[in-house]
Amino acid sequence: MTTTLDHVLRVQNVTKRFELDSGSVVALDNISLDVQPGEFVSIVGASGCGKSTLLRLIMGLESCTAGNIELGEINISKPSVDRGMVFQESRLLPWKTVTENIAFGIPKSHHKKEHNAIVQQHVELVGLQGFEQALPHQLSGGMQQRVSIARALVGRPDVLLLDEPFGALDALTRIQMQQEVLRIWQRERKTMILVTHDIDEAIYLGDRVIVMSERPGTIRNVIQITLARPRDRSSSEFMSYRREIFQEFFGEQKKTFVFEI
């Protein structure tokens, strides 16, 4: 019998080097990270520090140059239904409807009736009832990302990887989508790993915020967020986390700047 303990995600001493004609690029340097089942981990770091590379390795889309990644007892070497990923751009098939795009994430072995019921459950999970037959171009950016989230969840993964999923959305839609992800996480209790440039988003959602160094990416600090959810972004505790993470990036000298804006 499998227990939830089997689904700990273990990133162990992972280095990733890309070989180019002009030389090699070390994207990640000896990263180790354990993520517990049902945990929400946010990752922040400068552009190019290897955040997407880390998610792509966890997804099994790339292989590690050194080290290894395990989910439970399984060594990750290729994509599988136990992991789902949402990308910055929605990556929907433009000629397929909402339902068809979501159905794309389910293994073909399901019976038709069961298949349709699972798809409909996921349409409802992301609040897209009434839009089942819409094509992607008939949806707003936020709605398209809801479809992407449903498609990533429909195969019932243990781990959902979110790579700056709301980067292209306006500030208000983004906040609304953060609330949606929180609701889905609280309901589904999946392990979630969110890469974001938005420090507030990282604090609002994460049990922990992983702060990465510039390339080659290493883990610079791990900040445990102990605030109860839903979190109040204007509370002094929230501000204090924000200050701590800003200081990780910009150092003491930028403290005045942070509080004068």
**Interface contacts to ligand ATP, rule CB under 6 A:** 18, 20, 25, 27, 45, 47-53, 215
Q: Is 52 in the site for Mg ion (CB under 5 A)?
A: yes
Nearer Cβ to ligand ATP (48/141): 48
**Smallest separation (angstroms) from ligand ATP to the CB of 26:** 8
Q: Which does 18 bind (CB under 5 to 8 A by kind): ligand ATP, Mg ion, none?
A: ligand ATP
Looking at the Cβ atoms of 143 and 212, the one nearer to ligand ATP is 212
Q: Residue 174: name its binding partner from Mg ion, ligand ATP, none (Cβ under 5 to 8 Å by kind).
A: none
Identity of residue 108 = K
Cα distances (angstroms) measured from residue 200 to each of 17, 28, 159, 175, 251: 31, 25, 22, 10, 18
Closer residue to ligand ATP (CB): 88 or 173 = 88
DSSP state of 231: P
Determine the interface stretch with Mg ion among 47-55, 61-69, 201-209, 219-227 (rule: CB under 5 A): 47-55
Window of 49-57, 58-66, 114-122, 219-227 that interacts with Mg ion by CB under 5 A: 49-57
55 close to 195: Cβ distance less than 8 angstroms: yes
Nearer to Mg ion, 105 or 217 (CB): 217
For residue 88, the surrounding DSSP H or E stretch is none
CA 127-132-137 angle, to 5 degrees, is 95
133: which residues sit within 8 A by CB, 6+ positions away? Answer: 97, 98, 99
97 binds, among Mg ion, ligand ATP, none (CB under 5 to 8 A by kind): none
Residue 33's CB is within 10 A of a number of other CB atoms, namely: 19
**Residue 48 near which of ligand ATP, Mg ion, none (CB within 5-8 Å, type-dependent):** ligand ATP
User: Nearest CA to 87 among 12, 151, 170, 155?
Assistant: 151
Q: Which of ligand ATP, Mg ion, none has residue 50 at its interface (CB below 5 to 8 Å by kind)?
A: ligand ATP
Peptide linkage before 94 cis (omega within 30 of 0): no
Does residue 197 contact residue 168 with C-beta atoms inside 8 Å? Answer: no
CB of 175 to ligand ATP, least distance (A): 21
Of 54 and 203, nearer to ligand ATP (C-beta) is 54
- List contacts with Mg ion (CB under 5 A): 52
